[in-house]
Amino acid sequence: MRFLRVVASLLAGIGILISMQVEVAAATLTFTGNITTSSCKLAGGVTQKEVPLSPVHVNQFNGVGSTTGFKDFDIDLENCPVQYNKVKIYFYSCTGPFAYIGAEGTCTRTSTTVNVQLRNADDTVIRIGTEADARSFSINPNGTVSASYKVGYYAGAYPVVPNGADYTITAELKYEN
């Protein structure tokens, strides 16, 4: 039994001796990357886009939910990060004097009967504040995007009372592959 202990001690000592003699090769790993703040910008160096709507007469509305005076407009973007394939444009807020997003996803305010409604180029309604209504657009190899929309008047109440319809609708860009 004593012989077994001596052999076990010797083997354990050799194991320690062997592990102490193993050489470890060193390696250096270098990781490089680049974090940018690059994002699409409105084309032409502007920071906002104004879309003036033509005046309409109150007789052009025939009830709550009726619409009129739609105008086509484009949002042209440049300097978009080309490492992404698409950009999603999400209209998420509506501001102006006493403005809020109405139940039907229009821009409205407490002091008016006329709201503003956004639509895609194919006339499908965009409910402001509803990300599910956001559409994606392809980023061209040169970093540009052109997105077509429509905006018009929406009767939030009836009869419509003559009033202004000045609102600011804010969009967020989300990049996709």
Q: pLDDT tens digits, residue range 26-36?
A: 676 767 555 55
The arithmetic mean of pLDDT across residues 95-105, rounded, is: 84
- Rounded Cα gap, residues 18 and 12, in angstroms: 10
In the structure, what pLDDT confidence band is assigned to residue 99 with cuts at 50, 70 and 90?
Answer: confident
- Rounded Cα gap, residues 107 and 12, in angstroms: 80
- Greater confidence (22 vs 167) lies with 167
| pLDDT tops 80 at residue 5 | no
Report whether 136 contacts 175 (CB < 8 A): no
Q: Terminal CA-to-CA distance of the chain, rounded, Å?
A: 70
Residue among 161, 57, 68, 79 nearest 119 (CA): 68
- Greater confidence (49 vs 17) lies with 49
pTM (whole model) above 0.85: no
Weakest mean pLDDT among 11-20, 70-79, 139-148: 11-20
The arithmetic mean of pLDDT across residues 47-59, rounded, is: 93
- Residue-by-residue DSSP string for 88-153: EEEEEEEESTTEEE-TTS-EEETT-SEEEEEEETTSPEE-TT-GGG-EEEEPPTTS-EEEEEEEEE
Q: pLDDT tens digits, residue range 113-155?
A: 889 999 999 999 999 999 999 999 999 999 999 999 999 999 9
In the structure, what pLDDT confidence band is assigned to residue 7 with cuts at 50, 70 and 90?
Answer: very low
